[in-house]
Amino acid sequence: MSLKAIATPTRTKEILAKYGFSFKKSLGQNFIIDVNVLKNIIETAEIDQQTGVMEIGPGMGALTEQLALYSNHVVAFEIDQRLTPILEETLNPYQNISIVYQDVLQADVANIIATHFSPEQDVKVVANLPYYVTTPILMRLLMDRLPISSITVMIQKEVADRMAARPNTKSYGSLSIAVQYYTEAKVALNVPKTVFMPQPNVDSAVLHLQIRTTPLVKVNDESFFFDLVQASFAQRRKTLRNNLSRHFSEQYTKEELENKMLQAGIDGTRRGESLSIQEFANLANVFV
């Protein structure tokens, strides 16, 4: 198919002009205008002709088009109805694309996956995510335990670094733990702001999340585990003892908390950022 790719500055400008489309800041719309970047994303996601792909925020269809060329079927969620006529034109040559005009955070994603893909098909999420909803979307996809094998997303570099961070680093925090509990996370490549139209104010990165078949650690109560983790990072410069005493002041005395930490073999003078995910799990399991 020798069509001119959507992801070029010229073609993007032509489409914008033809439809009089204006970017909505509130939707975090930044379209990719570099085909090589898109191919790198697809390579990172390890997509082939059998793969089912779920995309979020296709925009004008730049990534969608490349996904359609390399995969079996693409289902894309688009929240902005103004893009309907554009997507109908740009993606018209491809028979293996379904566009769902819904907010992915409101949609019944499991049902949509069941409708569009066969039960034994390998389904992956690949997207250029709007910065402002990156975390809610990723956490929703992970916590719903959808039948997907991996997530490869272009997101703000700082957020990608936080999601893939290791203990004892500046970026490591409750978000790192939440993401790594469900996935193996790695930053695959950094992307300059020049490959977008309009250019965002920050650099981006492609984050690859390989979904674990079982969570990284065994916890007795997931919601308590995440609550404890969040409390431990409430004030990064404070010790674990201080953060936990503040958060659990109504449930436990300082002595009781001290005993729990002792039981888990954790020194209360440490800071949250020094604890591994396994140590957090051990501590949470002493409580419940």
Binding site membership: which residues? 30, 32, 57, 78, 103, 128
| Maximum Cα interatomic distance, the chain, rounded to a whole number of Å | 71
- As a whole number of angstroms, the distance between CA 84 and CA 98 comes to 12
Task: For residue 186, count CB atoms less than 10 angstroms from its CB and return exposed for 0-12, middle for 13-18, buried for 19 or more.
Answer: middle
Contacts of 152 (CB under 8 A, 6+ apart): 41, 44, 45, 124, 125, 126, 127, 188, 206, 207, 208, 209
> How many Cα atoms occupy the beta-carbon half-sphere of 15 within 13 Å?
27
Q: Where are the alpha helices (DSSP H) in the chain?
A: 9-19, 35-45, 62-70, 84-90, 109-116, 134-143, 157-164, 174-182, 222-232, 240-247, 254-263, 277-287
- As a whole number of angstroms, the distance between CA 11 and CA 14 comes to 5
Amino acid, res. 177 = I
- Which has the closest alpha carbon to 179: 207, 142, 151, 147? 142
What is the SS3 assignment for 53?
A: strand
Q: Could you list the residues known to form a binding site for S-adenosyl-L-methionine, using ranges.
A: 30, 32, 57, 78, 103, 128
CB atoms within 10 A of CB 152: 22
